[in-house]
Amino acid sequence: MVQAYRLLTARFTELEMDYPLHLGVTEAGDGKDGRIKSSIGIGALLEDGIGDTIRVSLTEDSVHEIPVARKIADKYNRNQLNPANIREEILIHNSVQKPDHLYKEFRNPFSYSRFFSDSLPVGDLRLGENLLIRVELNVPHESKNGSEIISDLKTLISRNPDLPQPEIFSFEIRENADLKKLLDVREKIETKFPFSLIINRGFEIFQPDTQKIIAKFQKIVLNPSDYISDRKPFADFLKFYTGKLKSVEFRISESDLIIIPELVDFLNSESITNILFSFQGEEILHGYRKLAFQLKDRAFPILLEYTSRDIETCLYDASISLGGLLIDGIGDAIRLSVPGANPEELLSLSFDILQATRLRISRTEFISCPSCGRTLFNLQETTARIKMKTGHLKGIKIAIMGCIVNGPGEMADADFGYVGAGPGKVHLYKGKEIMAKSVPSEIADDRLVELIKQNGMWVES
């Protein structure tokens, strides 16, 4: 959808056509999935300056679509409320020459290609190259003692193995007490999952006792501009820490983007490896694009980070920002942070965003259209019923389409299709091939399950 609109926009530009563009993700589905897919598709284009009207199409009652559309559009409409802000912005952009070394367009907006990066270790886990996009879970711990943190981690570690599993646990470090508390947790809990420490700005890392504790963890996150002025101690620390199973993440702010060439030269001159990068700032999507441009010839992995005030805002904004980056091939790992949020919610949302971009499928993928006048059965009830029967089939794509007019074309990349063919009748598809015509709706669900079994793709729940 994103690539199609970009191609259309390019053609408009070539032909000097100025028609408004209407954006929509038609088969977004329902619930959280529908909201995430809509945010990624529509939001990624709005971030590119493409789109004049939007339509959210959910497999739900239509009244639920408008609030979702408003949440997506609000970010891009704020400046419209004050035309003076727009004029000021235009003047600023026209009067300031942006240096070419900070950013030039370098993506191919018309096709997906993942940016190459070297593989590096985080404990026994590796990220980068063509490996899966990794999920790092930020675990809130500020108001908890060690026993409470251990209890939280055990809950996450022992969750249903059919559910997506955490891969890296990360913890914010603001003072030495945090460091000692988490060392105690690390030593008392048996887990294969690596621990990452996010070192807040101003934290002293050069003390020998502090370094001994930090060395017990598999990854640390630093703001390099805090330490680069002390070049020799910083180099010694990085050489001491980075090794066979450990990596350092450089968290870059907007103002730090200009020092990346200096950082890269520093790392090369000191023969320091096992470094990845992340970005922290207000404009996440554009900040990461600038970071990726700076690193495009450097092969450093990039971790996509998003911090939000609440889980609902995180759902929409992280989907737009991180989802928009992932579909452009930027990112080797993701980390969501919401103060006080349930870690399981953050873990689920992380995998849901990866599922929506189809870069990491961790459960059944459903494609379902919104209700319209051509729909030949109750789409919401049917979708819910089929999800209940097939939702455990990891990696399979099932399309539930209301009519024969748009259904076969819009479900073309699904593994199996359930398409309304007439009152009380359903056609069943395998890929683009129709396998059973005019199946009575009373038995269509069971026939779909039989079709999946016949193709060797069924597992018992």
Predicted confidence at residue 88, as pLDDT, reads 47
Provide the pLDDT for residue 159.
81
DSSP string, 122-135: ETTEEESTTSPPEE
Which pLDDT score is estimated for 322? Answer: 97
Q: Is residue 285 part of a domain?
A: yes
What is the CATH number for 233?
3.20.20.20
Residue 380 belongs to a domain: yes
Amino acid at 161: P
Q: Please report whether residue 401 resides in a domain.
A: yes
pLDDT digits (tens), the chain, 461 positions: 999 999 999 999 999 999 999 999 988 888 899 999 999 999 999 999 999 999 999 888 889 999 999 999 988 887 565 555 544 444 444 444 455 566 788 888 888 889 999 999 999 999 999 999 999 999 988 888 989 999 989 988 888 777 888 899 999 998 888 999 999 999 898 888 999 999 987 788 888 889 999 999 999 999 999 998 899 999 999 999 987 789 999 999 998 998 899 999 999 999 999 999 999 988 899 999 999 999 988 899 999 999 998 999 999 999 999 999 999 999 999 999 998 888 889 999 999 999 999 999 888 888 888 767 777 778 889 889 999 999 888 889 999 988 777 777 777 788 999 998 888 899 999 998 999 999 998 999 999 999 999 999 998 87
Residue 110 lies in a domain: no
Cβ atoms of 197 and 220 closer than 8 Å: yes
Which tokens go with 333?
């790992």
**Phi, psi values for residue 248, rounded to 5°:** -120, 130
The per-residue pLDDT for 99 is: 54
| Residue 446 belongs to domain with CATH number | 3.30.413.10
Rg (Cα) of the chain, in Å, rounded?
24
pLDDT tens, 79-89? 565 555 544 44
Tokens standing for residue 174: 């603001």
87, part of any domain: yes
Tokens representing 192 are: 């294969």
pLDDT of 401: 87
114: in domain: no
Number of independent structural domains in the chain: 3
* Confidence at residue 8, expressed as pLDDT on a 0 to 100 scale: 95
Any idea what DSSP says for residue 153? H
Is 232 found in the same domain as 149?
yes
H or E segment at 144? none
Q: Do 187 and 269 lie in a common domain?
A: yes
**Residue 365 has which token pair?**
């993928």
> What is the rounded distance in angstroms from the CA atom of residue 56 to the CA atom of residue 41?
10
**Same-domain check for residues 186 and 332:** yes
Of 296, 321, 356, the position where a domain reaches its end is: 356
pLDDT value for 370: 79
Contacts of 225 (CB under 8 A, 6+ apart): 253, 255, 256, 259
Q: Do 326 and 398 sit in the same domain of this protein?
A: no
Residue 443: domain span: 365-454
Within a domain: 115? no
Sequence letter at residue 387: K
DSSP codes, 70-120: HHHHHHHHTGGG-HHHHHHHHHHHHHS---TTT------TTS--PPP---E
- List, for residues 418-439, the tens digit of each pLDDT value: 998 888 899 999 998 999 999 9
Across-strand partners of 441? none
How many angstroms from the chain centroid is the CA of residue 228?
30
- The first and second tokens of residue 372, run together, are 């319209």
Task: Judge if 229 and 331 occupy the same domain.
Answer: yes
Whole-prediction pTM:
0.89
Q: Could you give the CA distance from residue 398 to residue 368 in angstroms, rounded to a whole number? A: 8
Token couple for 455: 């193709």
Beta bridge mates, 246:
243
